[in-house]
Amino acid sequence: MLNVRVIAAAIALGFAAPALAETIHVGVTISTTGPAASLGVPQRNTIALLPKEVAGQAIEYTVLDDGADSTRAVANMRKLIEENHADIILGTSTTPASLAMLTVAAETKVPMVSMSASASIIAPMDAARRWVFKVPQNDSLMADAIAAHMAAASVKTVGFIGFNDAYGDGWAKEFTRAAGEKNITITASERYARADTSVTGQVLKLLASKPDAVLIAGSGTPAALPQKTLHERGYAGKYYQTHGVANNDFLRVGGKDVEGTILPAGPILVAAQLPDSNPIKPKALEYIAKYEAANGAGSVSTFGGHAYDATILFTAAVPEALKKGKPGTAEFRAALRDAMEAQKNLVMTHGIANMSETDHNGFDTRARVMVTIQNGAWKLLP
Amino acid sequence: MDASILLILAQDGIVNGAIYALLALSLVLVFAVTRVIYVAQGEFVAFGALTYAALTEGQTPGALWLLGGLGLAGLAAGLWQGRGDHTRASILRLLAETILLPAAIIAATLILAPLKPGLITAALLSLAIITPMSPLLYRIAFQPLADAPVLVLLITAVGLHLALTGLGLVFFGPEGYRAPPFSDAMITAGPLLLPGQAIWIIAIALALMLALYAFFEATLTGKALRATAVNRLGARLVGIPTEQAGLIAFALAGFIGALSGILIVPLTTLTYDSGFTIGLRGFTAAIIGGLGSYPGAVLAALLVGLTESFASFWASAFKEVIVFTAIIPVLLWRSLRHGPTEDDE
């Protein structure tokens, strides 16, 4: 009889205070399929490496794919919050989808850490963006770095060719501003599509404007095409790319054509070449070692590092948040947001973040290095 | 804009147009014989390209396992569709088509791939791997629907396209590939810079068009295909196996798709999902040509290639808009000329 009562009580207790209240639920939505799959796949692989426990609390990750589709990203986020009781959302990989998720974060009061590039996700700060953090470097930081490098190399005129999408347009805008500040003239601004088989027309237009340097704003392997065509047509100026190409597949596809290209990137790309005094170096090497142990040598990409950084940010905030409330409660989520905003000198694989009420990215110039391609490998420029 | 730029753009447009022409031809062929608008044609371009790129690097292409899987699915579909009236001979033929042939190709690839075969061997092997997928897909997806309305077939084709894109990501991964060109030669003629690959593309496209013409005019199989295209029921009445015609049409489409992919992957980076927009341009050309005329489709494809090339010079940001809206005035002109047709088959 007693036994029955004990069991009944246990069951009742079980229902009243479900065990999941003790677990921190992390909802992840990333683009493991679709046009941004080369960003989303390393991010998904990274999630598999993340700590399953922080400050004595179990962490459970639920990963969903949004295919870089804004509608699916929002649906995933609602599902993760309503069905999986997510305390925090990590994602997503692309800017348009991240922008669509903003309002859900504000409405449900669940903090979100985006892994996409555009500064528009966290600026200008408002009621919705209060709940949103972003770990990749702002485009503007990278555009400034390119413009500064060009000015130092006495480049006066630049031809621009970028993707015919949010990535290329964002760069066109940021770079026009950054170049203007350095008195660099943009002689031609062209667009091409990811799947184009030829960019001859655009390249002829670039060549006709006789620029000192060409900036190619594309991501991943398709960014090699304009450079190859420019080479074929005998362009002899400097080539600049953006950090969107910072993975080894670009080197593989680009081959000889991309030698000498200059680009800004997160320090993780050349982690081994950083001076030992750089606090980012051990963090980045730790991530690279973990990732390559699980996925094979040479498989790491900087994009996966953003997923790792997102976790560094939120796990750093967990101990503080636990003092304010239990996981699964509104208090915990609000405290998690507050604690993330209070992070200072937080070392990540891509930089060192100093969060503030107005800046939810927190990176400074330590979050980027200039890199060139030499003998088919990335080389840190002084 | 001077004469040399004009020439270079025209050359570029013709090279791209040749690829679109091949795709447009295969779309017209498949539509005429089976009434399927083969949306998934673009996937064959991507698959052929990625398989060829993997083989030239000495890797075993992921497409092998896709071929094996489709073979098994084709066997199951064939057994189910013919249940009740299978004979020993028909089952043997089914086994040969769905199991034996893919197994032979897989075995050959597994032996040859690590040896890093030459470019021609790699190209032929890629064609052998990708081409049989298309008739297998016909057997699995379209044969049971042979008498369905065009709209149902179109929806099936879209579904097939989505499924193949997903499978492409699984088997090839998210990264893009580029392959070495057939020849590194560069011919300079005045302002023109003619890469060897461009000559290969135009030569192979022309040869293929002539071969198709000869096939349809001179061979019995070709005539049977044409008869099926003209009148399905009539063709069946005179003893032409229309399902066989469908299989052949799909095999040709798969072959042309894979070949187009192999031809363009030395020029640009292709990813698992970039076939669709290339196929779409072939489709635009096929529509402009009236979806029934082979010379019309080829001319329209050249027009699409040239439009694209010149649009990319004058207004690169609006290139896609310009290329794809070109279809609207053509459709308007067609419907004004022919009036509305009640096409409910």
Does residue B345 carry a pLDDT above 50?
Answer: no
pLDDT at residue B192 in the model: 75
pLDDT digits (tens, 9 = 90+) for A365-380: 999 999 999 999 999 9
A161 SS3 class: strand
Does residue A70 carry a pLDDT above 80?
Answer: yes
Q: Which of A16-25, A288-297, B174-183, B315-324 has the lowest mean pLDDT?
A: A16-25
Band of pLDDT at residue A18, cut at 50, 70 and 90: very low
A195 closest CB neighbour out of B8, B174, B278: B278
Is the Cβ–Cβ distance between A80 and A26 less than 8 Å?
A: no
Residue B27 lies in a domain: no
Band of pLDDT at residue A16, cut at 50, 70 and 90: very low
For chain A, the helix, strand and coil percentages under 3-state DSSP, each to the nearest 5:
50, 20, 30
Residue B37: give the domain boundaries.
Answer: 32-269
Inter-chain contact B278–A197, Cβ cutoff 8 Å? yes
Band of pLDDT at residue A45, cut at 50, 70 and 90: very high
How many domains does the structure of chain B reveal?
Answer: 1
Residue B274 lies in a domain: no
Inter-chain contact A195–B313, Cβ cutoff 8 Å? no
B84 SS3 class: coil
Band of pLDDT at residue A4, cut at 50, 70 and 90: low
Residue B1 lies in a domain: no
**Which residues make Cβ contacts (< 8 Å) with residue A232, sequence separation at least 6?**
B193, B195
d(C-alpha A201, C-alpha B313), whole Å: 4
Chain A residue at shortest CA distance from B269: A222
Q: Which of A166-180, B187-201, B250-264 has the lowest mean pLDDT?
A: B187-201
Cα dist from A143 to A136, A149, A262, B45, B202, whole Å:
14, 10, 12, 36, 41
Nearest in space to A73 (alpha carbons), one of A90, A55, A51: A90
Is the Cβ–Cβ distance between A147 and A184 less than 8 Å?
A: yes
Residue B320 lies in a domain: no
Supply the DSSP string of B251-277, one letter for each residue.
Answer: HHHHHHHHHHHHHHTTTS-B-TTTHHH
pLDDT digits (tens, 9 = 90+) for B200-256: 899 999 999 999 999 989 999 999 988 888 888 888 898 888 888 899 999 999 999
Band of pLDDT at residue A2, cut at 50, 70 and 90: very low
Amino acid occupying residue B299: L
Residue B196 lies in a domain: yes
Band of pLDDT at residue A3, cut at 50, 70 and 90: low
d(C-alpha A90, C-alpha A309), whole Å: 10
pLDDT at residue A34 in the model: 80
Q: Which of A346-360, B280-294, B329-343 has the lowest mean pLDDT?
A: B329-343
**Could you give the dihedral angle defined by the CA atoms of residues B207, B213, B219 and B224, in that order, rounded to the nearest 10 degrees?**
130
pLDDT at residue A13 in the model: 47
Residue B323 lies in a domain: no
Return the structure tokens found at A214: 């060409």
Does residue A337 carry a pLDDT above 70?
Answer: yes
Residue B292 lies in a domain: no
Question: Taking CB atoms and an 8 Å cutoff, what residues of chain A touch B10?
Answer: none
Specify the residue for token string 């299989």: B247
pLDDT at residue B146 in the model: 81
Supply the DSSP string of B182-223, one letter for each residue.
Answer: S---EEEETTEEEEHHHHHHHHHHHHHHHHHHHHHHH-HHHH
Cα dist from B321 to B290, B327, B330, whole Å:
21, 10, 15
More confident residue, A64 or A20: A64
Band of pLDDT at residue A73, cut at 50, 70 and 90: very high
Provide the residue count of chain B: 345
Does residue A37 carry a pLDDT above 90?
Answer: no
pLDDT at residue B1 in the model: 62
Does residue B199 carry a pLDDT above 80?
Answer: yes
Is the Cβ–Cβ distance between B24 and B2 less than 8 Å?
A: no
Does residue B335 carry a pLDDT above 90?
Answer: no
Q: Cis ω on the peptide bond leading into residue A92 (within 30° of 0)?
A: yes
pLDDT digits (tens, 9 = 90+) for A122-145: 988 998 899 999 999 998 899 999
d(C-alpha A377, C-alpha A334), whole Å: 44
Residue B127 lies in a domain: yes
B169 closest CB neighbour out of A37, A195, A225: A37
Inter-chain contact B312–A164, Cβ cutoff 8 Å? no
Return the structure tokens found at A275: 């001076």
Does residue A12 carry a pLDDT above 80?
Answer: no
More confident residue, B343 or B222: B222
Band of pLDDT at residue B186, cut at 50, 70 and 90: confident
Does residue A339 carry a pLDDT above 80?
Answer: yes
pLDDT at residue A8 in the model: 53
Does residue B26 carry a pLDDT above 90?
Answer: yes
pLDDT digits (tens, 9 = 90+) for B81-124: 878 777 888 889 889 888 999 999 999 999 988 888 888 899 99
pLDDT at residue B29 in the model: 92
Domains, chain A: 2-137+289-367 (3.40.50.2300), 139-265 (3.40.50.2300)
Inter-chain contact A221–B12, Cβ cutoff 8 Å? no
More confident residue, A19 or A89: A89
Band of pLDDT at residue A348, cut at 50, 70 and 90: very high
Is the Cβ–Cβ distance between A64 and A80 less than 8 Å?
A: yes
Question: Taking CB atoms and an 8 Å cutoff, what residues of chain B touch A257?
Answer: none
Chain B residue at shortest CA distance from A199: B312
The whole-angstrom distance between A71's CA and the closest CA on chain B is: 18
Is the Cβ–Cβ distance between B174 and A194 less than 8 Å?
A: no
**Which residues make Cβ contacts (< 8 Å) with residue B86, sequence separation at least 6?**
B79
Inter-chain contact B316–A220, Cβ cutoff 8 Å? no
pLDDT at residue A142 in the model: 92
Amino acid occupying residue B251: A
